[in-house]
Structure 1
Amino acid sequence: MDDIRLVLYRWVGRHGLDANQHAQLLREAGLGQEPAGLQQRLIQGLAVLAAALAAFGLLMWLAANWDDLGRFGRFALLQGLVLLLALAAWLLPRLRAALGLALFLVLGGLFAYFGQTYQTGADPWQLFALWAALGLPLGLALRSDVLLAPWVLVLMAAIALWWQAEAPSIRLFNSHLPAQIRGLQLLHWALLAVPLAFLGRPLRRWTGAGIWSWRLALLLAVGQLSVSALLLLFGGDETVLFSLALLLLAGATFGLARPAHIEIFGLSVLALALNVLLLAGLGRWLLEDHRVEPIASFALLTLVGAGLLSLSVKGLLAAARRQRESEQKLGAAA
Structure 2
Amino acid sequence: MKPNITRDLLYSVARHSNWREGSMEAKLRSTNIYASTRDWASFVRLLLLGTGAGFVVAGIVFFFAYNWADMHKFVKLGLLEVLILLLACAILFSKLSTGIKNMLLTGSALLVGVLFAVFGQIYQTGANAYDFFMGWTACIALWVVVSRFPPLWLIFLALANTTLMLYAQQVAVHWPFAVLLDLLFIVNASAVVVWEALTLKGKISALSRWFPRVVCLAAVTAITISMIANIFDSFQQDWGLCFLLVVAGYTAGMWHGRRTHDLFYLSVIPFSGIVVAASFIARLVEFAPELMVLLACLFVIGSTTLLVRHIIHTNHKWHGQ
1:298 correspondence with 2:290: no
Q: For 1:227 and 1:164, how far apart are their aligned partners in 2?
A: 18
Aligned partner of 2:3 in structure 1 is: none
| Structure 1 SS opposite 2:273 | helix
Residue correspondence of structure 1 range 271-290 to structure 2 within 5 A: 271-287=270-286, 290=287
Q: Counterpart amino acid of 2:77?
A: F
**Shift of the alpha carbon at 1:96?**
0.3
C-alpha root-mean-square deviation of aligned residues, in Å?
Answer: 3.7
Aligned partner of 2:41 in structure 1 is: 39
Aligned partner of 1:87 in structure 2 is: 89
Aligned partner of 1:108 in structure 2 is: 113
1:254 correspondence with 2:249: no
1:127 correspondence with 2:129: no
Render the CA deviation track for 1:229-268: whole Å, top value 9, x for unaligned.
333333564363454355345324422332x233333333
**Shift of the alpha carbon at 1:316?**
2.8
1:96 correspondence with 2:95: no
Q: For 2:73 and 2:315, how far apart are their aligned partners in 1?
A: 56
Aligned partner of 1:324 in structure 2 is: 319
Q: Any stretches of 5+ residues in structure 2 without a counterpart?
A: 1-5
Q: 1:162 aligns with which of 167, 186, 197?
A: 167
| Structure 2 SS opposite 1:152 | helix
Aligned partner of 1:61 in structure 2 is: 63
**Shift of the alpha carbon at 1:136?**
1.9
Q: 1:117 aligns with which of 97, 122, 143?
A: 122
Aligned partner of 1:198 in structure 2 is: 194
1:269 correspondence with 2:268: yes
Question: When the two structures are aligned, how many residues end up with a matched partner?
Answer: 304
Aligned partner of 2:230 in structure 1 is: 232
Aligned partner of 1:73 in structure 2 is: 75
Aligned partner of 1:176 in structure 2 is: none
Scaled by the length of structure 2, the TM-score of the pair is 0.77
Provide closer, same or farther for how the CA distance between residues 324 and 58 of structure 1 changes in structure 2, counting only shifts above 3 A: farther
**Shift of the alpha carbon at 1:309?**
1.2
Provide closer, same or farther for how the CA distance between residues 169 and 105 of structure 1 changes in structure 2, counting only shifts above 3 A: same
1:217 correspondence with 2:215: yes
Q: For 1:227 and 1:246, how far apart are their aligned partners in 2?
A: 12
Aligned partner of 2:309 in structure 1 is: 314
Q: For 1:77 and 1:133, how far apart are their aligned partners in 2?
A: 22
Q: For 1:169 and 1:34, how far apart are their aligned partners in 2?
A: 49
Render the CA deviation track for 1:214-234: whole Å, top value 9, x for unaligned.
223222222222233333333
**Shift of the alpha carbon at 1:106?**
0.9
Q: For 1:188 and 1:31, how far apart are their aligned partners in 2?
A: 41
**Shift of the alpha carbon at 1:72?**
2.1
**Shift of the alpha carbon at 1:280?**
1.6
Conservation of the 8 A alpha-carbon contact between 2:267 and 2:311: yes
Provide closer, same or farther for how the CA distance between residues 193 and 154 of structure 1 changes in structure 2, counting only shifts above 3 A: same
1:141 correspondence with 2:140: no
Provide closer, same or farther for how the CA distance between residues 244 and 284 of structure 1 changes in structure 2, counting only shifts above 3 A: farther
| Structure 2 SS opposite 1:296 | helix
| Structure 2 SS opposite 1:199 | helix
Q: For 1:30 and 1:47, how far apart are their aligned partners in 2?
A: 28
**Shift of the alpha carbon at 1:102?**
0.8
Render the CA deviation track for 1:115-151: whole Å, top value 9, x for unaligned.
3333434332332232222212112332322322222
Deviates more, 1:207-216 or 1:102-111: 207-216
| Structure 2 SS opposite 1:93 | coil
Q: Sequence identity of aligned pairs in percent?
A: 22
Higher helix proportion: 1
Q: Counterpart amino acid of 1:93?
A: L
Provide closer, same or farther for how the CA distance between residues 244 and 101 of structure 1 changes in structure 2, counting only shifts above 3 A: same
Provide closer, same or farther for how the CA distance between residues 284 and 64 of structure 1 changes in structure 2, counting only shifts above 3 A: farther
Conservation of the 8 A alpha-carbon contact between 2:185 and 2:220: no
Q: For 1:132 and 1:310, how far apart are their aligned partners in 2?
A: 42
Scaled by the length of structure 1, the TM-score of the pair is 0.74
Q: Counterpart amino acid of 1:62?
A: F
**Shift of the alpha carbon at 1:304?**
0.5
Q: For 2:8 and 2:173, how far apart are their aligned partners in 1?
A: 50
